Amino acid sequence: MNAILRLTCRDRRGIVAAITNFIAHNNGNIVNLDQYTDPAAGQFFMRLEWDLKNFKIAPAKIEKALQKFGKISVTFSNRQKRAAVFVSRYDHCLYDLLLRQRSGELNCDIAAVISNHEDLRYVAAAFGKEFYCLPGAEKKQLALLKEKKIDLIVLARYMQILSPVFIRDYLYKIINVHHSFLPAFKGAKPYHQAYRRGVKIIGATAHFATEDLDQGPIIQQNVAQISHRDTVDDLIVKGRDLERQVLSEAVRYFLNDRLFVRGNRTIIL
Amino acid sequence: MNAILRLTCRDRRGIVAAITNFIAHNNGNIVNLDQYTDPAAGQFFMRLEWDLKNFKIAPAKIEKALQKFGKISVTFSNRQKRAAVFVSRYDHCLYDLLLRQRSGELNCDIAAVISNHEDLRYVAAAFGKEFYCLPGAEKKQLALLKEKKIDLIVLARYMQILSPVFIRDYLYKIINVHHSFLPAFKGAKPYHQAYRRGVKIIGATAHFATEDLDQGPIIQQNVAQISHRDTVDDLIVKGRDLERQVLSEAVRYFLNDRLFVRGNRTIIL
Amino acid sequence: MNAILRLTCRDRRGIVAAITNFIAHNNGNIVNLDQYTDPAAGQFFMRLEWDLKNFKIAPAKIEKALQKFGKISVTFSNRQKRAAVFVSRYDHCLYDLLLRQRSGELNCDIAAVISNHEDLRYVAAAFGKEFYCLPGAEKKQLALLKEKKIDLIVLARYMQILSPVFIRDYLYKIINVHHSFLPAFKGAKPYHQAYRRGVKIIGATAHFATEDLDQGPIIQQNVAQISHRDTVDDLIVKGRDLERQVLSEAVRYFLNDRLFVRGNRTIIL
Amino acid sequence: MNAILRLTCRDRRGIVAAITNFIAHNNGNIVNLDQYTDPAAGQFFMRLEWDLKNFKIAPAKIEKALQKFGKISVTFSNRQKRAAVFVSRYDHCLYDLLLRQRSGELNCDIAAVISNHEDLRYVAAAFGKEFYCLPGAEKKQLALLKEKKIDLIVLARYMQILSPVFIRDYLYKIINVHHSFLPAFKGAKPYHQAYRRGVKIIGATAHFATEDLDQGPIIQQNVAQISHRDTVDDLIVKGRDLERQVLSEAVRYFLNDRLFVRGNRTIIL
């Protein structure tokens, strides 16, 4: 069993030594260490993973013991995160997440599939997942999320805008996929916008949802070449592959505790 | 020696047969035929290349003979196009074009390098090309272009906006490279804009210059993955490779008579 | 309803005119024409699609009427091809094909899922497809394929080698996916081979199965960057995405009658 | 001014703490730390960069002071590495390296261009670099390399095989570019091999030269999609872009002290 520390603090001389020393003195063996210093802001970010065998501090007390170093979070490799997937009518991202979770690619418990439509109930059922149709009922949704102890919300082509209250409750815990290479083609019908502009590439973007629609910190982006022969329908088909890919990669980063947010940027360690 | 016909007309039954018949009856052997019908607009586009050996119509009379079929242009494989390259202070796209032209990759005569600065005179000289420093002198530039019988203007990171008059004179004969995946990050300092937005991909776009800055028909686009570790300077370095690539590909399409414009879109046959 | 002609013949003057004339004289409207002449071999390949409304020749008689032009095949847009998918224990390619077929991306009837193991019966069932577990029983498999009038066999990570007799019966109608960028890492366990060699890219290849294992004409290939941090298991996970992608694209080319074979190469029109 | 430590040793508890402690106790400020533990071999690799301002140990004594930790090398950011570029007749990689060096992208001193032909003397001259035509004269070449205190040898499409003695003298200091996605198409004329096999992607590979031709540890690879329309000459043109790209990236890794070799694999920190 490993512990994973995510730390953010002002950069200062000896910070790496101080933390690695602390781990070593308590008999931890470092398995992985990644750090990044934002040169402009002088901000220090670290992800540190160590083996807990023989570690002198009990898991429940580790977080407190490390607080002196800065803004921290500590997670444990044997504790699966709990995810809720929000969907509407498109099934491709939902299937992709369910298949990747089942194959072990995404290490999480998909504790609920929540929708504003009934359409995809059968998909959730085929994978033995609980499905909740709660259209226009944010309070019920929030209550369910609390009850299920949800760590991560995945908007898998969920076609409804969340309220600022909802987003603030789960800030940087909501990952959305937008079907364009943001910041191009914000808003509705990006494939139609792309077709009209005559671009030669289309893209998809996974990002944290914030109160500003399609403007949250970007986690992952990918693109595909297109040509004049591609109709809007072709763009939609090609785009589905991109959406699946960027969304699942962003979710994997989150589940592996690799994401930090600094201003409107993500740092992936 | 081959002839290349580019034809645009309303789609109609038998159009391909009529043209290929015409070529066959006059003893031409078709080497290449590409066509595209815009489904929405019912517009027909064709690029047809045929061998002129034994062709019954003299080259000088071919264009007239084909005019009945629609809006056409005819070029000949033994006639090199004449290009002018506009530059300012960045040398990477200029070097790239000169090297590709010398290696035979770009089949054209680079008849002039025109700049608003003296900086790159030595680069042109090293490749035996004429260099003209004509800052803020569009009339002189236009006179030079006429004198040199220029077919294609390549804006290879030329840092000055051309007047509407200039652009109308050479409409769809001016290829510009913009250092972003348009329509994202139009205007000045796109790499700085990209850095601030925290995107995970950067791009470059080659497009026809039109009166609307950075909004002309897109010819080619390419992107590269970046990470939070990349500074603005890193983006500039990575972007240079993209700029070179998309610009040279767009120029090659033009030189091979493969480009059509329909509204704000290019069709590449 | 459209007809699609695929034609292979010696290149000769006037061949395009002759065929397009034939279509025009019989009141067909050409919707799409792609051709390619192999410069070394002087071989001509054409894919021609035309609208049958008002076409003077009855569909059943078109093939015969066109035989004079060369080696041909004629298909019709309203006749769905019938595919059999062969699988063993890996489910990712099967799910991918079933989902793409259901969404309309792959225009075919998946008439049978055939396996040498029972494992994936439930997947076929979830999509309402017939599943046949026929391990080591090629005769039964062939009988079933005949009975079901199968046009295309897709080996979706089928872990058994087909006999030469089987392959000859369905030559250039069997598409296999191999999990490497062929010709690198032929044979067993290519991800392990790739790991040991320390490559920085992995790939997948969709190709026609021939009697020479992993050496048939290549239809589609794709690759992904990897790093020293990727274990064999990581390669397997990343490779699944590539396998899905190249296999589904190759199948789509086949279903759209776009594939020609010349020696050990495919031509995709 | 920064120091850069590259360390390889058996993985052991507290190794990161021990080293970072050592740096901190001597007043060094860590700017960058990357580490990797090979899970199979239990081997630990670290690249550590720290600011030398106020560092208590004099630069000349740092290496000795750190030797207790394992197999190490220490370099300094203010000391440019000295590179020799070996070429034959192809100019594209040479131009690319010279341009990138001049623009600051490659932080090194190109102290000599060495060739077995006179052809590219003028290119070296245009960039003010010394050119030596030393065909079939390895002893003279080696003497020159010693005299020039060369740290890195770049084989930029050098068409001659180096002797085992030469390679041993500069083991893991010679970077070669091979024009295929190795291990496919080892040996001569890989683009011709690729054409004959009918692949849909071509590639290029930068690797350390070892005594086994084209089999040394791979540093970087890249590929491009091709189609049946591409002739061997087209592959050569498209491949040049890939060769330039992978070679310059591999050289940059080397110059930034990011490369480690473990068996036949590179680790890039």
Q: Average pLDDT, whole number, for chain C?
A: 96
Q: Say whether B24 and C37 touch across the interface (CB within 8 A).
A: no
Summarised one tens digit per residue, pLDDT across range C168-201 is 999 999 999 999 999 999 999 999 999 999 999 9
**Residue of D20, D25, D28 lying closest to A20 (CB–CB):** D20
Residues of chain D with CATH 3.40.50.170: 81-268
Summarised one tens digit per residue, pLDDT across range B57-92 is 999 999 999 999 999 999 999 999 999 999 999 999
pLDDT band at D105 (very low <50, low <70, confident <90, very high): very high
| pLDDT for A40 beyond 90 | no
Calpha distance A123→A94 (Å, rounded): 8
Residues in C whose CB is inside 8 Å of some CB of A read: 91-92, 95, 99, 103, 105, 126, 237, 241, 245
Contact C119, C95 (CB under 8 A): no
Q: What are phi and psi of D153, to 5 degrees?
A: -110, 125
Calpha distance D134→D118 (Å, rounded): 9
Residues in A whose CB is inside 8 Å of some CB of C read: 91-92, 95, 99, 103, 105, 126, 237, 241, 245
Which tokens sit at C155? Answer: 């080996």
Read off the pLDDT of each residue in D16-32 and give the average, rounded to a whole number: 93
Percent of chain B with pLDDT over 90: 97
| pLDDT for A2 beyond 90 | yes
Read off the pLDDT of each residue in B130-138 and give the average, rounded to a whole number: 95
According to the model, what pLDDT value does residue D2 have? 97
Calpha distance A42→D89 (Å, rounded): 49
Calpha distance C269→D44 (Å, rounded): 52
Long-range contacts of residues A255-260, Cβ cutoff 8 Å, at least 24 apart: A255/A81, A255/A83, A255/A106, A255/A107, A255/A108, A255/A152, A256/A107, A257/A4, A257/A6, A257/A47, A257/A73, A257/A75, A258/A47, A259/A172, A259/A219, A260/A6, A260/A8, A260/A45
Percent of chain A with pLDDT over 90: 97
Residue D233 C-alpha, separation from nearest chain B C-alpha, in angstroms: 10
C33 contacts on B by Cβ (under 8 Å): 16, 33, 35
According to the model, what pLDDT value does residue B250 have? 98
Q: DSSP E strands: which ranges in B121-262?
A: 131-133, 152-155, 174-178, 201-208, 218-225, 259-262
Calpha distance A115→A136 (Å, rounded): 10
Strands A81-87 and A152-155: parallel
| pLDDT for C78 beyond 90 | yes
Q: DSSP E strands: which ranges in C11-136?
A: 29-38, 43-51, 71-76, 81-87, 108-115, 131-133
Read off the pLDDT of each residue in B196-203 and give the average, rounded to a whole number: 98
Which tokens sit at D80? Answer: 């440019």
Residue D34 C-alpha, separation from nearest chain A C-alpha, in angstroms: 6
> Whose CA is closest to D3, among D61, D69, D68?
D61
pTM of the shown model: 0.97
According to the model, what pLDDT value does residue D10 have? 95
SS3 C221: strand
Angle in degrees, CA C183, C186, C189, rounded to 5: 140
Report CA dihedral (B194, B200, B204, B205) to the nearest 10 degrees: -90
Read off the pLDDT of each residue in D109-118 and give the average, rounded to a whole number: 98
ipTM (interface predicted TM)? 0.96
Q: Say whether A219 and B227 touch across the interface (CB within 8 A).
A: no
Residues of chain B with CATH 3.30.70.260: 2-76
Contact D115, D140 (CB under 8 A): no
Calpha distance B257→D253 (Å, rounded): 41
Q: Say whether D99 and B103 touch across the interface (CB within 8 A).
A: no
Contact A228, B220 (CB under 8 A): no
Chain D residue nearest residue B249, CA to CA: D238
CATH number of A2-76: 3.30.70.260
According to the model, what pLDDT value does residue D52 have? 96
Q: What are phi and psi of A151, to 5 degrees?
A: -95, -30
Q: For chain B, which chains pass the contact test of at least 3 CB pairs under 8 Å?
A: A, C, D
Q: Which helix (H) or strand (E) holds A146?
A: helix A138-147
> Whose CA is closest to B110, among B79, B140, B57, B151?
B151
Q: Say whether C95 and A92 touch across the interface (CB within 8 A).
A: no
Calpha distance D99→A84 (Å, rounded): 52
Contact A51, A24 (CB under 8 A): no
Read off the pLDDT of each residue in A101-128 and give the average, rounded to a whole number: 98
According to the model, what pLDDT value does residue B136 have? 87
What is the dihedral sign for C-alpha C256, C257, C258, C259?
positive
Assigned CATH topology for domain D81-268: Rossmann fold (3.40.50)
Contact A179, A189 (CB under 8 A): no
pLDDT band at D155 (very low <50, low <70, confident <90, very high): very high
Can you say how many angstroms the Cα of residue B55 is from the centroid of all Cα atoms in its chain? Answer: 30
Calpha distance A97→A152 (Å, rounded): 13
CA-only gyration radius of chain C, Å: 20
Long-range contacts of residues D212-215, Cβ cutoff 8 Å, at least 24 apart: D213/D161, D213/D186, D213/D187, D214/D178, D214/D182, D214/D183, D214/D186, D214/D187, D215/D182, D215/D183, D215/D186, D215/D264
SS3 D133: strand
A185 contacts on B by Cβ (under 8 Å): 183
Calpha distance C228→C234 (Å, rounded): 11
| pLDDT for A136 beyond 90 | no
| pLDDT for D41 beyond 90 | no
Catalytic, A214? Answer: yes
Percent of chain D with pLDDT over 70: 100
Read off the pLDDT of each residue in D185-189 and give the average, rounded to a whole number: 95
According to the model, what pLDDT value does residue A87 have? 98
| pLDDT for B40 beyond 90 | no
Mutate to test the interface with D, among A16, A69, A269 (most CBs of D within 10 A): A16
Q: How far apart are the first and last CA of chain A?
A: 20
Read off the pLDDT of each residue in A34-40 and give the average, rounded to a whole number: 91
Calpha distance C28→A7 (Å, rounded): 70
According to the model, what pLDDT value does residue D40 have? 81
